Structure formats: structure tokens, C-alpha cells
Structure 1
Amino acid sequence: MAAPIDTVLFDLDDTLCRYRRSAADVLEIAFERAGVGSVFEPGAYYDRYREYLERATRPVDLHEQCFGDLAVESGYDRADGLAVARAFREERDQRNVEALPGATATVEALAEEYTLGLVTNGLSAMQRQKLEATGLEDAFETTVYAGEDAAPKPDPEPFDLALDELGSVAERTVYVGNSLSADIAGARAAGLASAWLPAETAPVEPEPSPDYVLESLADLRSPPWR
């Protein structure tokens, strides 16, 4: 018989919160706020940033690297790209974040019965702004910023760190996240059960396979592992 769950860990981005506007819309605002004009084409950002993300091995501001390089390649000063990156980050993480429907109520309900923690990929300065914007900054007993405090998900290290800080064990913990490759794979690597919150265009047969599939965060009001 499996041990009963007493700890729930959450992902943050697209699990508990989301951006209101697209990156392209925020980038246009960032150009204006930085006062440097469109120093590169917004479309160039998407492909390039994914390259930086895949190569990242330490906690750095990838937008500053990416936007600085794009500005130079477009004939502008690197300082112009850095100014856009700072404006982009502030606009995106302070003014453009909202909690997903039911996130706050679900977390509050679970806190009455379970020990709660957060394991999120991203720099602490960026992720804290999102937590503050959604009112979730005091909702968790521990928060691990994977990529800064530990290796990024799907490495098991950030999950292990969260469990150590909470005094919990993997066999009694479930991780809730939206990404198969980062969240579900990472939870499996760390020996945790996983609850998947899929996007609208989710695969019929997800791989890796989660232990539980949620239709919405509201499903957690009556946890499927009971």
C-alpha cells in the first residue's frame, strides 16, 4: 500500500500564474519605455531566446544576453539591448502577471491539510515578482528557485532540496506542474508522484506519463491521490 501524501509541491509558470499579454506585446512596450526604438525585430527574439535557454548552465539574465546580442547584430549599442531587457523584465513580471483561475483558493485549501512548497525554474528576482503580483508570496513553506538554488528542472536536485527544507520524503509527496519535460520528468527523476495540468493542446498519450491528470486546479480541492 502506497504511503499517504502529506506534501504538495507546485510549479509556478503556467501552473499557478500566467502572462496577460504576449511576449511580442510586452516587447513593444519595452522598446517604448527604454526610449531606444525597435532595436531588433520582435520575431527575432523567439528563435534566439530558445537557443540561449537550451545552452544555459548557470543563473544569468538570458534576456540581457539575448537582447544585447540582437541589438549589436542590428547595428545598435549593446547598452540599448540591455535597456530593453530591463524594461521587458519589469513590464512582464510586475505588470503582466495574473494568477490562474482557482489558484489562490486551491493553494489555501490544500494548506489546511498538506505541507506546501514551490519548485520553479527561474531567477529568484524574477519569480518573486510573479509571486508578489499574484498574492502567493507567503503561500509556501519553502521555495526553490531551480537554476539558482540548484540545477534546473528536470534535474532531481531542486526537488530534493525542497524536500530537505520541508523535512518531507519523496514517497509522500506529489508535484503539480504543466510541463511534461520539466515538471513530470523532474518529479519522476526525484521519486515523486506527479499531477499534470495540461494545456488545451495536450497530447492524448503524454510522455512521460504523469500519475494524475488534472482538468483544472479546482480538481485539487478533492485531491485525486486520496
Structure 2
Amino acid sequence: MLAPAHAFDGLSFASDQANHKIESIRKSLLAKSWFGFDLDDTLHEFRKASRAASSTVFELISQTCKANIEELRTTYSTILSQKTSNAFADGKSSDTYRKERFSALMKSHSIDFTDTTLDQLAAAYKNSLESSLEVKPGAVSLLRRLKHSGKKVAIVTEGPEDAQKWTLEKLGIASYVDVLITSNRFGRTKVDGLFGLALKHLEINAHDVVYIGDSLEKDIYPARAEGILTIAFNETESVVLDVTDFRVDSLRKLETILRS
């Protein structure tokens, strides 16, 4: 028996209409054997953690070389967009990527450095990143419910394989994940065939999985292009109760619908 619409953690729709839509969505989702997730900014606060880690590096450079932190931040933003444009699909380790970015930053500001300097900056970045890691509200409870319901969980994400494994462990959610699929390991970005490779790797059809991600361009549209049912997750937008264009603004609401 469905609860009244007003009980769905703030979902406010006309009760009959909302309950009908929620029930339709719930049945469609629970028919799936696999639940796929993006990782960064879907299951955890990646932007917040990476900003904190980058700031730690800028402060260290500034203390040593008297460089302007805001100038370093601006330059690094440009370098980051250039260095990550291939979504880490060339198979390097997270440590290598970070040192490449820090090396480019120091060269851009004519700052002398050694390999030891890069080692220290990479270590400081990683330590700060770990201390700033934070799961999204409702993520652990949602993953726990899925596993208790017998569902398989796959992470399909862009990023270095070693860093994403490390992130899952540090967040304390690795035990809920059956498979990790990264652009780094498979050599493809999400917009260049990663979802198709994921289906082949899992040996499943598109209708067996639903995928949850925070980016329309990198998550939702390419997953849909493979025939995968999707859930767009954006904390700043409104909920859309449409099974073909389902959108939520919190993982708690998604769990509420699944357990209703």
C-alpha cells in the first residue's frame, strides 16, 4: 500500500496522481537486476573534496615560493580542464596525473621544483582529499537497501582506477559495490562508448540496469543512448516523476520510493 504523496520526504504532488507515478517508477526500478551509479558528485562530494585538496597544494606552493594563491588557482583550473579532457582514459595512475598537473602549474609560474617537490605536493593533496571525503546524504542507506533487496551494484565512472577504488574504500561503501568500471581501465570515456563496454563486461542487456548520475551530458544522455533506463540526480533541481525522464534531488527520496 502506497503512503500518501506528502510522506515522500518532501515530494508534494496531488496524492492520486503522485502515487500512480511513484508506483509506476518503483515497479520499473525494482524490475532491474543491476543498479549503476556514477561516483564523483553522485555518491560523494567530489568537487568539495578536490577543491580543499587543491587549496592545500596552492598554500604549500605559496608558502615556499611566495606565489599568489588566486593566480595559482586560476592557472590550475585551466590546466585541470586540459589534462582531464580525455577523462583519464589513457590508463595512468592517479599519482602520475596529479604530478603532471602540479608540474605544469609550477612551470606556468616559473617556479623551480624537483621530483621530491612533486612527491610532497601529491602526498599533501591525497591527505587533504581523504580528510575531506564525504558521502552524499542517503547514499549509504540507499546502497544498503539495494544489496538487501538482492540487487547488484556497479559503479561506472570516469577517473583513475586506483583513485576510484581508494575513494570507495575511504568512503566506507566498497562492500556494497559488486563491480567498478572506469574510463581509466577500459580506455573509453562515457560519451565515447564506456556504457556499451560496461554492458558487455557485465554480460547483461540494457533493460537489466538502471543508471544514476549527476551529469546529463556525461551520464544520462550516453546511458540512454545504449538503451539504459536513467535517473538524473541534481540537488538544485525539482523532482520529475516520469519513468522515462526520472529526476531526483536527493538519494533519500530515491530510497523512499524504492521502499514504499
Q: For the superposition of Structure 1 and Structure 2, which TM-score range results when normalised by the shorter chain?
A: 0.7 to 0.9
Letter in 2 for 1:75: S
Q: Which shifted more, 165-174 or 50-59?
A: 50-59
1:26 aligns with 2:53: yes
> What stretches of structure 2 of length at least 5 have no aligned partner?
1-27
**Counterparts of 2:238 and 2:77 in 1: how far apart (Å)?**
23
Query: Which residue is equivalent to 1:14?
Result: 41
Structure with the largest fraction of strand: 1
CA RMSD of aligned residues (A): 3.2
Moved more, 72-81 or 112-121: 72-81
Cα distance in 2 for partners of 1:162, 1:181 equals 18
| 2:245 equivalent to 1:211 | yes
Give the superposition deviation at 1:31.
Answer: 4.9
- The reply on whether 1:126 has 2:163 as its aligned counterpart is yes
Query: Which shifted more, 139-148 or 51-60?
Result: 51-60
Q: Determine whether 1:191 maps to 2:239.
A: no
Tell me, in whole angstroms, the C-alpha distance in 2 between the residues paired with 1:118 and 1:138: 12
Instruction: Confirm or deny: 8 A CA contact 2:238 2:249 kept in the other structure.
Output: no
How far is 1:84 from its partner? 5.7
* Bigger RCO of structures 1 and 2 (CA < 8 A, at least 6 apart): 2
Q: Where does 1:69-148 land on structure 2 (aligned, <5 Å)?
A: 69-79=104-114, 82-83=118-119, 85-113=121-149, 114-148=151-185
Q: Secondary structure at the match of 2:154?
A: strand
Following superposition, the deviation at residue 27 of structure 1 comes to 2.8
Percent identity, aligned pairs only, is 25
Higher mean C-alpha displacement, 177-186 vs 12-21: 12-21
Query: Where does structure 1 lack aligned partners over 5 or more consecutive residues?
Result: none
* TM-aligned CA distance change 1:55 to 1:140, over 3 Å: closer
Listed one character per residue, the Cα deviations across residues 115-158 of structure 1 (whole Å, up to 9, x for unaligned) are 2111111102211221112101121111111232341212333x
Structure 2 residue identity aligned to 1:53 = T
**d(CA) in 1 for partners of 2:256 and 2:145?**
10
Which letter maps to 2:134?
E
Q: Which has the larger radius of gyration?
A: 2
Q: 1:191 to 1:36 in 2, by over 3 A?
A: farther
Higher share of residues assigned helix = 2
The 8 Å contact of residues 16 and 103 in structure 1, kept in 2 or not, is answered as yes
Report the TM-score when normalising by structure 1. Answer: 0.80
Measured in 1, the distance between the counterparts of 2:97 and 2:113 equals: 14
Distance 1:211 1:170 in 2: 16
Paired residues, number = 219
> Could you tell me how far 1:106 is from its partner in structure 2?
0.4
Give 3-state SS (helix, strand or coil) of 1:171's partner: helix
Give 1:197 shift.
Answer: 0.4
TM-score normalized with structure 2 length: 0.71
Q: For residues 74 and 107 of structure 1, what CA distance do their matches in structure 2 show?
A: 44
